[in-house]
Amino acid sequence: MKGAGSDTCVQEQPAVMIELKDVVKNYGRITAVAGVSFQVLQGEIFGLLGPNGAGKTTTIRMLTTLTRPTAGELYVAGYPVATCPVEVKKRIGVVPQQNNLERELTGRENLLLHALLHRMPRVERERRIEELLDYVGLSSRADERVQHYSGGMARRLLIARALLHCPPILFLDEPTIGLDPQTRRKIWDLIQLMNRDGMTVLLTTHYIEEADSLCHRVGIIDHGRLIALGTPAELKERLGNYCVEFLNEQGTERHFFATRSEAKAYAQSKDFDTVVRRTNLEDVFVELTGREARELASV
Amino acid sequence: MRVPATTGGVKVRCFLPPWYPIIWEEMIYWQSKFWLYLATYMLSPMLFLLSFGFGVGRRLQMIMPGGMSYLDFLVPGVVALALFNNGVTSVTVRMFYTRLHFQSFEAYRLAPVSNFSICLGYTLAGAMRGLLAGLIVLTMVFLLVPGLKLNWPFFGAMLLASLCFGTFGVLIGLCLRSFDDQALVSEFILVPVTFLSGTLIPVERLPGFLQHVVWFFPLTPAAELLRTTLTGNGFNWRLAAVLGGWCVVLFTLGWLRLKMLDG
């Protein structure tokens, strides 16, 4: 499914498209982001994972110029976000967590509004709008008001809107939240197709399987700090590639092992039912962020 | 599935001003709701004219300074009210819903458009709505009040007043934080300004201290400027300067408020 970068004769160092250096964001006494640093390379799909309130949305808002950091430096497409916000905005597409389309406008009018805001010339904007409506499968419903759209349709229109001005970098904040599995998979396909076309993608998600199957690298953020960074395979390997799982009075217990034989030996030493399976990204996430349920508010 | 190019970047730019999309969106609403706007904008001025102008107006003649007819006094006041109420409210409500309810205002803030252009776009949208309401009221007044003579300075005064009220609407819209705030603005700003700014009752007939306080409301110089132009006393540049000053102050405050929202 994944496959960033193409086989080329000359191995060039990919450009850094997104960079955060010791970024801090305080809201009064509350620290939403506490010194986060990472880079996203050209052509990568980078996933930012974390429980509710971990600081994912705040990080995206700072990168997309909507919120000023308290401290630290952010660069997008090589431009410092603090001093060149307009240059940054020209080069990014943003799919927000919440549907922020104009409800009273039609799908086509929403795209036209975005094209006008990006000052696209008439011929170009008309071509792109038709192309993207077709791309996200909304051509037949383009002249209906957005207030009549389903959640999945609105989400697809948000993606089309974010792509309209041909940005090299796309930010997606929880792109599939609240969608049915079919629509979710359709959106995964769209993200992968965009990436195959060379686009750099930074997405935040609650859905671990989404990050596992889509992202080339993931960063796990908790309490405003980046607590793990790497490819999904690397993160699983750090924990142990095999998991032995069993249920006891305290709940489900999991133990991790580097090899299948070690895991099997441990499982056989128990005189009750156990499951031996490959470690997944959700295991990594739960081990790193803890098992306590978090509040629903998104920071 | 054919994938549209996503990373080429749009190189050619068009020459439309950056605030144009805000006006364009406003025009879309005009197209779809024109008859609703027409009915809404006619209702309250008609009530004011019927109740104050043709109703108790003759009895109010005694409060008029310089023996002016109350109807002559009321007509520019009602036009000023139409400019004020519709100019301010249309922007405030639009900003309230797009910023706090639907969050579609973020689409503007994510676009490569400066805060100045966003403020200017919303100001012009509010001014246009105020002007539309003012022109509708003027047409109605023209039919109801015989002998009304319009002149170009009056239209200049309408334009200046509607711009000022557009900036006021932007500032209020950017300061709102909740639905309760909207009610507070209505009760503590819009209603007092509506009734005390020399629109329905001459400023000279207000209690002593209020006669000075009301000059801190932008509607007072607007109503006065409209009145002097409509009565053929020429364009009062002093009042125009006061109104222009309000425009600059309110626009600057709105612009600073939008910058603050980035934090």
- When comparing pLDDT for A183 and A151, which is higher? A151
Measured distance CA(A269)–CA(A265) in Å, rounded: 6
Specify the number of domains making up chain B.
Answer: 1
pLDDT at B171 over 90: yes
Nearest-by-Cβ selection for B3 from A90, A114, A197 = A197
Nearest-by-Cβ selection for B9 from A67, A96, A168 = A168
CATH of A14-91+167-231, one of 1.10.3720.10, 1.20.1260.10, 3.40.50.150, 3.40.50.300: 3.40.50.300
Q: State phi, psi for B172 to the nearest 5 degrees.
A: -65, -45
**B19 within some domain:** no
pTM over 0.80: yes
Q: Within chain A, which residue ranges are assigned CATH 3.40.50.300?
A: 14-91+167-231
Residues whose CB is less than 8 angstroms from the CB of residue A125 and which lie 6 or more positions away in sequence, other chains included: A112, A115, A116, A164
Over residues B74-126, the pLDDT tens digits come to: 889 999 999 999 999 999 999 999 998 888 999 999 999 999 999 999 999 99
Over residues B25-38, the pLDDT tens digits come to: 999 998 888 898 88
Q: Are residues A84 and B112 in contact, defined by beta-carbon separation less than 8 angstroms?
A: no
Q: Does B11 touch chain A (CB under 8 A)?
A: no
Structural domain of residue B189, as residue ranges? 32-261
* Residue A162 CB neighbour total at 10 angstroms: 23
Which of A23-37, A130-144, B138-152 comes out lowest in average pLDDT? B138-152
What the block records as the tokens of A52 is 């509710």
Over residues A66-102, the pLDDT tens digits come to: 999 999 999 999 999 999 999 999 999 999 988 999 9
Q: What average pLDDT does range B145-151 have in this prediction?
A: 81
Q: What is the DSSP letter of B100?
A: I
**B7 within some domain:** no
Q: Are residues A77 and A91 in contact, defined by beta-carbon separation less than 8 angstroms?
A: yes
Identity at A195, one-letter amino acid code? N
Measured distance CA(A268)–CA(A273) in Å, rounded: 9
Measured distance CA(A112)–CA(A122) in Å, rounded: 10
Q: Which residues of A32-49 are buried (b: 16+ CB within 10 A; e: fewer)?
A: bbbebebebbbbbbbbbb
Over residues A206-239, the pLDDT tens digits come to: 788 889 889 999 999 999 999 999 999 999 999 9
What is the ipTM for the molecules in this complex? 0.84
**B70 within some domain:** yes
Task: Looking at chain A, list the stretches that DSSP marks H as alpha helix, in order from N- to C-terminal side.
Answer: 56-63, 85-90, 107-117, 122-135, 151-163, 181-196, 208-214, 232-239, 260-268, 281-289
pLDDT of residue B169: 96
- Helix/strand/coil percentages in chain A, nearest 5: 35, 30, 35
CA distances (Å), origin B132, targets A129, A270, B58, B79: 32, 81, 30, 11
Q: Does B139 touch chain A (CB under 8 A)?
A: no
Q: How many CB pairs under 8 A join A and B?
A: 119
Provide, as residue numbers in chain A, all residues whose Cβ is less than 8 Å from the Cβ of B4.
128, 131-132, 135, 163
Q: Are residues A235 and A228 in contact, defined by beta-carbon separation less than 8 angstroms?
A: yes
